[in-house]
Chain A
Amino acid sequence: MEHRSKETLNALVFFALLLLFVFQFALGPDRERLAAALPGLLWLGFVLAGLLGLGRTFVLERENDCWDALLLAPGDKSAIYVGKLAVNVLLMLVVEVLLLVLFTFFFNVDLVGPLPALALVMALGTLGLAAVGTLFAAMTAQVRARELLFPVLLLPVQVPVLLATVKATEAVLLGEPLSAVAHWLKLLAAADVVYVAAGVLTFDFLLES
């Protein structure tokens, strides 16, 4: 359905462009200031765009009045969580790649060298963000103040992932090898496993309650 309507993707792309303009004006032409802020800026952009996309995870079920029908489907509902997670990861990665390309042009930074290592950090970080985001989106889907509650609940839980991704990105952009950030990568991988497992195991219970 997202492939047909592209509602979420279009919104995220325009949001990413807007973020870029804001960063450009905020930082100006100072190269040193930009280099120091780049890892945080990248992940700030990824997280803000991610919040927008993740918050819409179950909007189709609300708009089409299908929430009860999901609940009534017999069998294990963790497949719904895995499906939604896969779409969220894909959407977020598309927007992140776009942001990365735009950062390269707008701020004239060389991201080609560290690209393979950066791609690994992005993949692990995105999975962690999306795993918890998808679960919390289900949790808040039927709540009245969901637009407010969703980011308030999600961001504190994301602190380990955000810390690890920003630190790992910082090191990678400085040209350090992957072995230098192995501890951050291990933290990310562990967080991913825990978050995805928690999502798969609790999604059924979440829908029922």
Chain B
Amino acid sequence: MTADPLIRVIGLGKAFGRHVVLDDVRLEVRPGEAVALLGANGAGKTTFLRILATLTRPSRGSASILGHDCARAPERVRPHIGLVAHGAYVYEDLTALENLRFWTALAGLAADGAALARALAAVELERFAGERVRTFSAGMKRRLSLARFVLSRPRVLLLDEPFAGLDQRAKKWLEGYLEAFKAAGGALVMATHSFGRELALADRLVILAARAIALDTPRASMGADEIARLYRLHAEDGA
């Protein structure tokens, strides 16, 4: 029996004033599934992720995570999601350990020193626990932002250009982390406009164009050329 979807989006629409960004978007993502959300700049990828992350309310339709409506019950959704966006959500004047302690305390998670140390070790930052984040590379900051999820254990990860700005080593690490997250039954939605590692991780390709989902297809054994062709067909020519 197919598991119930972790993410369910029905008839979702979003407008900023008279500017319609999304219109009648439908999507379901099941446990252990990774969706690569492709689209040109301005297609609505970030807006879609922000609605799922409860940071923006839709204008119509609904988005729910684990059965909780993102707009009506954001407090029930937030313990189950993790957002990896352009910012790393870390305070640069605090150390790695202090950042982790602050965010876990704010989330109401009981985490002693040993648990915090284990979380940092899981993202390979245990040697830098006492270093101020200001001295970290982009990849290290990204790893630190993921360390919170070791403790909060979200079921859904929402990622906006997750590999952008990372060096090869950091990209490889992140890829392994996301594979493990998927294997543990988590759901991933990765917004991107590049054909990089997000596609290798993805089980499905969803192309956003003209304010709606133009294509939703299993990635299966699709090569980069085929994906690029579909992207040009739907996201660029169809826009």
- A interface residues with partner B (beta carbon < 8 Å): 1, 4-5, 60, 63-66, 68-75, 79-80, 208
**B103 interface neighbour in A1, A63, A65, A73, Cβ under 8 Å:** A73
Interface residues on B, range: 20 to 34
Contact assessment for A73 and B106 in the assembled complex, using a CB-CB cutoff below 8 Å: yes
Provide a sorted-by-A list of 28 A–B residue pairs whose CB atoms are within 8 angstroms: A1-B91, A1-B93, A1-B94, A5-B93, A60-B91, A64-B89, A64-B90, A64-B91, A64-B92, A65-B86, A66-B87, A66-B91, A68-B85, A68-B87, A68-B89, A70-B106, A71-B54, A72-B53, A72-B55, A72-B81, A73-B78, A73-B103, A73-B106, A74-B75, A74-B107, A75-B107, A75-B108, A79-B106
* CB closest chain-A residue, reference B104: A73
Return A4 CB to nearest CB of chain B, in Å.
Answer: 5
| Contact status of A65 and B88, CB under 8 A, knowing A1-B94, A72-B78 | yes
Contact assessment for B87 and A74 in the assembled complex, using a CB-CB cutoff below 8 Å: no
| Contact status of A73 and B55, CB under 8 A, knowing A65-B86, A66-B91 | no
Return B143 CB to nearest CB of chain A, in Å.
Answer: 16
Contact assessment for A69 and B89 in the assembled complex, using a CB-CB cutoff below 8 Å: yes
Residues of B contacting A: mostly: loop
Q: How far is the CA of A66 from the CA of B108 in the complex (A)?
A: 18
Return B164 CB to nearest CB of chain A, in Å.
Answer: 14
**B107 interface neighbour in A63, A64, A65, A73, Cβ under 8 Å:** A73
Most A C-beta atoms less than 10 A away, residue of B53, B83, B88, B93:
B93
- B interface residues with partner A (beta carbon < 8 Å): 53-55, 74-75, 78-79, 81, 83, 85-94, 103, 106-108
**A74 interface neighbour in B55, B90, B91, B108, Cβ under 8 Å:** B108
| Contact status of A72 and B54, CB under 8 A, knowing A5-B93, A64-B92 | yes
* CB closest chain-A residue, reference B91: A64
Contacts of B83 in A (CB 8 A): 68, 72
Q: How far is the CA of A89 from the CA of B85 in the complex (A)?
A: 33
Contact assessment for B93 and A80 in the assembled complex, using a CB-CB cutoff below 8 Å: no
Contacts of A80 in B (CB 8 A): 106
Contact assessment for A4 and B93 in the assembled complex, using a CB-CB cutoff below 8 Å: yes
Contacts of A73 in B (CB 8 A): 78, 103, 106-107
Return A81 CB to nearest CB of chain B, in Å.
Answer: 12
**B74 interface neighbour in A1, A64, A208, Cβ under 8 Å:** A208
Contacts of B53 in A (CB 8 A): 68, 72
Contacts of B87 in A (CB 8 A): 64-66, 68-69
Contacts of A72 in B (CB 8 A): 53-55, 78, 81, 83
Q: How far is the CA of A208 from the CA of B55 in the complex (A)?
A: 8
Contact assessment for B103 and A69 in the assembled complex, using a CB-CB cutoff below 8 Å: yes
* CB closest chain-A residue, reference B106: A73
Q: How far is the CA of A68 from the CA of B158 in the complex (A)?
A: 13
Contacts of B88 in A (CB 8 A): 65
Return A195 CB to nearest CB of chain B, in Å.
Answer: 24
